[in-house]
Amino acid sequence: MTSGPTPTGELNTIPRLLARNASVYGDKPAYREKEFGIWQSWNWKQVSEEINALALGLLDMGLNQGDHVAIIGRNRPYFYWAMVAIQSCGAVPVPLYRDAVAEEMAFVLDHCSARFVIAEDQEQVDKVLEVQEGLNMLEQVIYLDPRGMRKYDRSKLHDYKEVQAKGRASGLQAELDARLAVQDFDTTCVMLYTSGTTGRPKGVVLSNRNIVKSGQAVSEFDNLRVDDRVLAYLPMAWVGDFIFTVGQGYWTGFCVACPESPDTMQADLREIGPTYFFAPPRYFEGLLTNVMIRMEDASPMKQRMFKKYMDFAKEVGPKLLDGKPVTFGERMKYALGNILVYGPLKNTLGLSRTRVGYTAGEAIGPEIFDFYRSLGINLKQLYGQTEASVFVTVQPDGEVRADTVGVPAPGVELKISDTGEVFYRSPGAFVEYYKNPESTADTKDAEGWVATGDAGFIEKDSGHLRIIDRAKDVGKMADGKMFAPKYVENKLKFYPNILEAVVFGNEREKCCAFINIDLSSVGNWAERNNIAYSSYQELAGHPQVLSTVQEHVEAVNKSVAEDEMLSGCQIHRFCILHKQLDADDGELTRTQKVRRRIIEEKFKDIIDALYDGSEKISTETEVTYEDGRKGSIKATLELRDAKVFPTAAQRIAAE
Amino acid sequence: MTMAETYQTPDGRTIGGQVMEMKNITLRFGGVKAITDISFDIREGEIRAIIGPNGAGKSSMLNVMNGFYHPQEGEVWFHGKKRGPMKPHQIAKQGIARTFQNIALFSGMSTLDNIMTGRLTHMNTGILKQAMWWGPAEKEETENREVVEKVIDFLEIQTIRKTPVGRLPYGLQKRVELGRALAAEPKLLLLDEPMAGMNVEEKEDMSRFILDVNDEFGTTIALIEHDMGVVMDIADRVVVMDYGKKIGDGSPDEVRNNQDVIDAYLGVAHD
């Protein structure tokens, strides 16, 4: 290594971890990316050189300490390097969601007063230039992919590689070293904008202490090693991606692989075979739905074999993973199943090598969870948020269950307030919300306890945390019973036919629900039954689809009725929405969480119709297309009643 | 019109000298006159469109340009040389690549293999060496694969690299066909109705790719297209044909205001 920082002192910043990795693991692969059909690879030494060159280039362009630099792009090694290069200069990287529309982008760029933007390609640069007018702070844009950019005004646009080349020639190494030397645990490491289920996104400031300590704690918790490998495919603006690839990646020095394009992720996953894998429940659901659809098209022989061995695996697989006693015969049968079914299936899913897998963000259906665990994939749940540098609770090996989110992560303290809200205190707890002291004070108290905004309780026997719902969403029905919409919605979403559900009923007599069907699952059913449809809207209005969903709703009602505390949340009436809820229309967050208030306002006419007992409603809804144009769709929806069930106590009283 | 000097497009590109010149071309099929006495030129780096109503002789013109048809009268000059009748393999080697109005891909082969066929004229090793993947053949395949992968990256079709093209939707097949033509690294690219049968979004994508090909590789492009909106947006100069005759030639604005062109497209009242 000819240039770049040398390891000095404590490992308390990401750039120092980089220096450590370059000298200790110099020849080990640090990043891989598939390009031109081949996996390109960079070892830690090369990465250190690339980052150093970019940092020098940024210095050369006049980047100051404490500046914010926005990064807009998909998962590519170059952007991960950019984050560390920016940190090396003492500035703060701010990754943005690449599918954000221009106005969302404008808000964030303005709020953090970004002086520089590093963007992926023409599409992203165009978005930045479009909003540039109102942003006085924005000075320079650096792009990675020069394609189509020939005719742009050069004065403010720079090629990433040219910036690096200028940096190499700049002779500013001494200045960079000086800036690196003054950094410590309290230096800001990254600023991430929360997706904002309510209102405007907030900039969460995370220090090196937050990131390095969290990365270290959980890497040790799960015994991550330098020869582990992960696939980076989740949005770079999301805290999970940052912790897994940068926090844990730099701490352990494992290899981060980036897919060729967002669409080839599944194929690339198979080729890389990550040993450590994270995906939201939605991903696992989608994958399972795919497997089931493909199995339905398989030969009867294969179907029988699949069913037989999967039924067996459901009994034995989780026990084997948890190290519980299993008979010799069962072990042999499981080994046979591994050769015939589980092994090939895991290979197809790209999860053959996965030692540790995590899912978080939403509740995962017990059947989905058990499916993966029965295959022998060590899938676990964690509970976390941006403000905590992800980790609040995690499930230790051997204590994995579908209905809890685990025990406090190393170094995390938990408490439940009188109102049932979960609070934590941890080394990962964020510094502040940027330029928003009121929100900071609301969320984090003087002693460092952070409010999660989720209602939950700690199980007496196991010490595991269980989350019920968002604290602010938990309300009361008109008769005083508890109203926890997410609890019911999750039950509904466990059916493959239902993609999304929104339950209403706060301060009302009864609950009603909106349903979004899953187009791939219901569409496949329609194809097999020769039902023609031309759009989501048409399929969603099909009477047979309505009847199927009604069955699901009634089954959920039955199971909700079992729970004395939540029995008021049974769904009396429902409709299948004529459009899919979409982040572009503001109905979901960019991380695909439901924005309840906005949906409530937007579809007020339908909600009113659900409550006034009418059987049909005609409605018109504005939609935003991917390119930002607006249009509207009209529909007449059928509203249906669903059967509700008496609770156990009521049944006894009736007899 | 023989201009030796270069000219500037409104968006600031410099268009070079003549790449191809058609001089008084007449093409007959037996008694049917498909093309009557047409002359025009194509200049280096430009996007040249040929438009006209159905049966105007546009596709025949394209076939004359790439040497597939030999006109009964007139001359085709390519890179300053007059061109005589050619055999198909000679046609392929001259540096002109084309796509077809009706997709002509090998539907059972993967996208990758289909685009690889575009490299055929750049392969010199014998079939035996290739079959054994030995020595120069190995090196050659690696080089060709590199070009193909760049094309795949350029057209953003990595996802379908290994998919048989028969299973792809129409718009993507068109893109693969463009990929095969690009793989030949042509000096002149002929596109026969690249946007026929596409929806608006696919047309926008395809227009983007055509402009990018022209911009990134500096490839000269001649295209036939029905969609007037697209032609007027992306072409530098337009030739208008009707019943085998040239009725207009010039920039999109000039052509748009040409009375003969308006008559041909909208029809004229015969008294």
Q: What 3 state SS string does A260-289 have? A: CCHHHHHHHHHHHCCCEEECCHHHHHHHHH
Question: Which chain A residue is nearest to residue B213, measuring alpha carbons?
Answer: A148
Predicted pLDDT of residue A6: 44
Place of tokens 């690839």: A245
Mean pLDDT, range A139-144, rounded to an integer:
93
Question: Given A36, A151, A263, which is nearest B150 (Cβ)?
Answer: A36
Domain limits, chain A: 29-183+231-259, 281-470, 475-654
Q: Which chain A residues have any C-beta within 8 angstroms of a chain B C-beta?
A: 35-38, 147-148, 150-151, 260-261, 263-264, 267
> A596: pLDDT confidence band, cut at 50, 70 and 90?
confident
Q: What is the ipTM of this complex?
A: 0.77
Percent of chain A whose pLDDT exceeds 70: 97
Predicted pLDDT of residue A4: 41
**Does domain A29-183+231-259 sit in CATH 3.40.50.300?**
no
Predicted pLDDT of residue A162: 95
> B110: pLDDT confidence band, cut at 50, 70 and 90?
very high
pLDDT in tens, A25-82: 999 999 999 999 899 999 999 999 999 999 999 999 999 999 999 999 999 999 999 9
Instruction: Spell out the CATH class of B1-95+186-266.
Output: alpha beta
Tell me whether B202 touches chain A (CB under 8 Å): no
d(CA A284, CA A402): 13
Looking at every residue in chain A, the average pLDDT score rounds to 89
Is the model's pLDDT at A197 over the cut of 70?
Answer: no
Is the model's pLDDT at A649 over the cut of 80?
Answer: no
Place of tokens 């009436």: A573
pLDDT in tens, A533-559: 888 888 998 999 999 999 999 999 988
Is the model's pLDDT at A139 over the cut of 50?
Answer: yes
pLDDT in tens, A372-395: 999 999 999 999 999 999 999 999
Mean pLDDT, range A172-197, rounded to an integer:
90
H or E, element range at A516:
strand A511-517
Q: Are B151 and B115 contacting, i.e. CB atoms less than 8 angstroms apart?
A: yes
d(CA A493, CA A625): 26
Is the model's pLDDT at B190 over the cut of 90?
Answer: yes
d(CA B129, CA B127): 6
> A2: pLDDT confidence band, cut at 50, 70 and 90?
very low
Predicted pLDDT of residue A7: 47
Mean pLDDT, range A596-604, rounded to an integer:
89
Cβ pair B212:A151 closer than 8 A? no
Is the model's pLDDT at A8 over the cut of 60?
Answer: no
Predicted pLDDT of residue A62: 93
The structure tokens listed for A179 are 């800036």
Is the model's pLDDT at A92 over the cut of 80?
Answer: yes
d(CA A565, CA A647): 10
Predicted pLDDT of residue A655: 58
Do A29-183+231-259 and A281-470 agree at the fold level?
A: yes
Planar angle of CA A231, A102, A195, nearest 5 degrees: 55
Amino acid code (one letter) for A412: V
Predicted pLDDT of residue B109: 95
Question: Which chain B residue is nearest to residue A267, measuring alpha carbons?
Answer: B159
> A307: pLDDT confidence band, cut at 50, 70 and 90?
very high
Question: Given A36, A261, A263, which is nearest B149 (Cβ)?
Answer: A36
Predicted pLDDT of residue B2: 46
Mean pLDDT, range B53-80, rounded to an integer:
89
**Which residues on B lie below 8 Å from A152 (Cβ)?**
none
Kindly state the DSSP code that residue B121 receives in the 8-state scheme: G
Question: Given A35, A37, A147, which is nearest B161 (Cβ)?
Answer: A37
Mean pLDDT, range A181-204, rounded to an integer:
86
Could you tell me which residues come within 8 angstroms of residue A616 by beta carbon, excluding any fewer than 6 positions away?
Answer: A636, A637, A638, A639
> A212: pLDDT confidence band, cut at 50, 70 and 90?
very high
Distance of residue A261 Cα from the nearest chain B Cα, in angstroms: 7
Is the model's pLDDT at A203 over the cut of 90?
Answer: yes
Cβ pair A261:B159 closer than 8 A? yes
Tell me whether B143 touches chain A (CB under 8 Å): no
pLDDT in tens, A267-276: 999 999 999 9
Cβ pair A37:B145 closer than 8 A? yes
Torsions phi, psi of A205, nearest 5? -90, 120
d(CA A302, CA A295): 8
Question: Given A37, A38, A261, which is nearest B156 (Cβ)?
Answer: A261
Mean pLDDT, range B208-232, rounded to an integer:
89
Higher pLDDT, B8 or A9: B8
CATH architecture designation of domain A281-470: 3-Layer(aba) Sandwich (3.40)
H or E, element range at A515:
strand A511-517
Distance of residue A150 Cα from the nearest chain B Cα, in angstroms: 8
Torsions phi, psi of A523, nearest 5? -60, -40
Q: How far are the Cα atoms of A293, B12, B136 from residue B126, in angstroms, in the given order?
A: 46, 46, 10
Which of A34, A36, A263 to probe the B interface (max B CBs under 10 A)? A36
Is the model's pLDDT at B6 over the cut of 80?
Answer: no
Predicted pLDDT of residue A334: 93
**Which residues on B lie below 8 Å from A37 (Cβ)?**
145, 149, 152, 158, 161
Tell me whether B218 touches chain A (CB under 8 Å): no
**Which residues on B lie below 8 Å from A262 (Cβ)?**
none
Cβ pair A35:B146 closer than 8 A? no
**Which residues on B lie below 8 Å from A263 (Cβ)?**
158-159
Question: Which chain A residue is nearest to residue B152, measuring alpha carbons?
Answer: A36
Place of tokens 């929405």: A577
Could you tell me which residues come within 8 angstroms of residue B94 by beta carbon, excluding any fewer than 6 positions away?
Answer: B67, B78, B86
Q: Are A469 and A363 contacting, i.e. CB atoms less than 8 angstroms apart?
A: no
> A186: pLDDT confidence band, cut at 50, 70 and 90?
very high
Is the model's pLDDT at A196 over the cut of 80?
Answer: no
Predicted pLDDT of residue A651: 67
Question: Which chain B residue is nearest to residue A265, measuring alpha carbons?
Answer: B159
> A200: pLDDT confidence band, cut at 50, 70 and 90?
confident
Pick from A243, A88, A87, A85: nearest CA to A160: A85
CB < 8 Å & 24+ apart, contacts of B123-132 = none
d(CA A342, CA A359): 20
Pick from A85, A102, A80: nearest CA to A33: A80
Question: Which chain B residue is nearest to residue A261, measuring alpha carbons?
Answer: B158
Question: Given B146, B208, B211, which is nearest A36 (Cβ)?
Answer: B146
In the beta sheet, which residues pair with residue A72? A96, A119
Pick from A311, A226, A312, A214: nearest CA to A276: A226
Pick from A502, A482, A484, A507: nearest CA to A492: A502
Percent of chain B whose pLDDT exceeds 90: 43
Predicted pLDDT of residue A654: 61
Predicted pLDDT of residue B264: 79
H or E, element range at A500:
strand A498-504
Planar angle of CA A575, A570, A638, nearest 5 degrees: 15
Tell me whether B163 touches chain A (CB under 8 Å): no
Q: How far are the Cα atoms of A293, A524, A544 from residue A527, in angstroms, in the given order?
A: 11, 5, 13
pTM of the model: 0.81
Cβ-based neighbour number of residue A326 at 10 Å: 16
Cβ pair A37:B158 closer than 8 A? yes
Q: Are A255 and A274 contacting, i.e. CB atoms less than 8 angstroms apart?
A: no
Domain limits, chain B: 1-95+186-266, 106-185
Mean pLDDT, range B55-73, rounded to an integer:
89
Predicted pLDDT of residue A653: 64
CA-derived radius of gyration, chain B: 19
CATH of the domain spanning A475-654, picked from 1.10.10.10, 1.10.510.10, 3.30.300.30, 3.30.70.2190: 3.30.300.30
The structure tokens listed for A329 are 């015969």
Cβ pair B212:A148 closer than 8 A? yes
State which of A26-30, B214-218, B244-248, B263-267 shows the largest mean pLDDT.
A26-30
Strands (E), A426-570: 432-433, 450-458, 465-470, 475-476, 482-483, 498-504, 511-517
Q: How far are the Cα atoms of A472, A506, A583, A639 from residue A597, in angstroms, in the given order?
A: 11, 12, 14, 21
Distance of residue A537 Cα from the nearest chain B Cα, in angstroms: 20
Amino acid code (one letter) for A357: G
The structure tokens listed for A92 are 């703060």
Is the model's pLDDT at B133 over the cut of 50?
Answer: yes
Predicted pLDDT of residue A620: 87
Could you tell me which residues come within 8 angstroms of residue A555 by beta carbon, excluding any fewer than 6 positions away?
Answer: none
Cβ pair A264:B159 closer than 8 A? yes
Across the A:B interface, residue pairs with CB atoms under 8 Å apart total 34
Distance of residue A37 Cα from the nearest chain B Cα, in angstroms: 6
Predicted pLDDT of residue B4: 52
In the beta sheet, which residues pair with residue B41? B21
Q: How far are the Cα atoms of B62, B98, B230, B231 from residue B193, in angstroms, in the given order?
A: 11, 11, 11, 11
Is the model's pLDDT at A237 over the cut of 80?
Answer: yes
Is the model's pLDDT at A244 over the cut of 90?
Answer: yes
Question: Given A38, A151, A263, which is nearest B159 (Cβ)?
Answer: A263
